[in-house]
Amino acid sequence: MNDIAQTASPHKDYAGSKLGMWLFLFTEILLFGGLFLVYSVYRSMYPQDFHAAAAGLSVVLGTVNTVILLTSSLTMALSISALRRGNSRRSVLLQSATIVLGLVFLVNKYFEWSGHIHEGLYPNAPELLTRSHGEILFYGLYYVMTGLHGIHVVVGLVLIGIMLTLTMRQRITGADYVKLENAGLYWHLVDLIWIYLFPLFYLIT
């Protein structure tokens, strides 16, 4: 029952693919975990400074971006269930919507960053160095953590872009959609990390 003829064809091990993806997501969480650790150490060292620095971030922009990213996770999940029901066209639409929302998130982020840079609040800036130690570290963490998250958003968008092409070429179908599902898992991770970044930087003031 297990001779080569049967198993030599490219095997599809869905459970294996998803297991691999979940393990990869663990490593991503640990990657950010290092930064969350540094954040918590410095927050406990400089609670007052962190409090003051957080007031400089725009809660409105942060909230808007949170809503955008959460919505994009929804469209991603819907695109998978659409494909599962065999509706490839709707899946393509929903994947495109995810990409658009992701791009809007990045544009927002761009304006937010350039605003701070304009105020002279970026690592090693003369203006920032006149501030207290905790504020310097707060902004250092802000740029590194949202920056690394931003890179993950870009990677996610490229990934979904590839999935979109594959879906349009009928390489991802309702019968074989594990790639899309894994891309979706990755996108949810990007979302999940933001859900922690948002309160830590914007809300806890």
Please give the residue ranges that form the binding site for another protein (CB under 8 A). Answer: 2-4, 7-8, 13, 15-16, 19-20, 23-24, 26-28, 30-35, 37-38, 41-42, 45-46, 123-124, 129, 132-134, 136-137, 140-141, 143-144, 148
How far is residue 163's CA from residue 171's CA, in Å, rounded to a whole number?
Answer: 9
Shortest Å distance, C-beta 124 to another protein? 4
* Residue corresponding to tokens 């979109």: 164
Shortest Å distance, C-beta 55 to another protein? 18
Residues 157, 102 contacting (CB under 8 angstroms): yes
* Residue corresponding to tokens 């809503």: 67
Shortest Å distance, C-beta 93 to another protein? 30
Residues 12, 173 contacting (CB under 8 angstroms): no
Shortest Å distance, C-beta 131 to another protein? 10
The nearer residue to another protein, 31 or 59, going by C-beta atoms, is 31
3-state secondary structure of 8: coil
Shortest Å distance, C-beta 4 to another protein? 6
The nearer residue to another protein, 92 or 137, going by C-beta atoms, is 137
The nearer residue to another protein, 26 or 111, going by C-beta atoms, is 26
Q: What is the DSSP letter of 173?
A: B
The nearer residue to another protein, 136 or 163, going by C-beta atoms, is 136
Residues 91, 83 contacting (CB under 8 angstroms): yes
The nearer residue to another protein, 147 or 174, going by C-beta atoms, is 147
β-partners of residue 98 are none
The nearer residue to another protein, 107 or 155, going by C-beta atoms, is 155
How far is residue 158's CA from residue 54's CA, in Å, rounded to a whole number?
Answer: 32
How far is residue 45's CA from residue 165's CA, in Å, rounded to a whole number?
Answer: 49
How far is residue 192's CA from residue 50's CA, in Å, rounded to a whole number?
Answer: 23
Shortest Å distance, C-beta 96 to another protein? 28
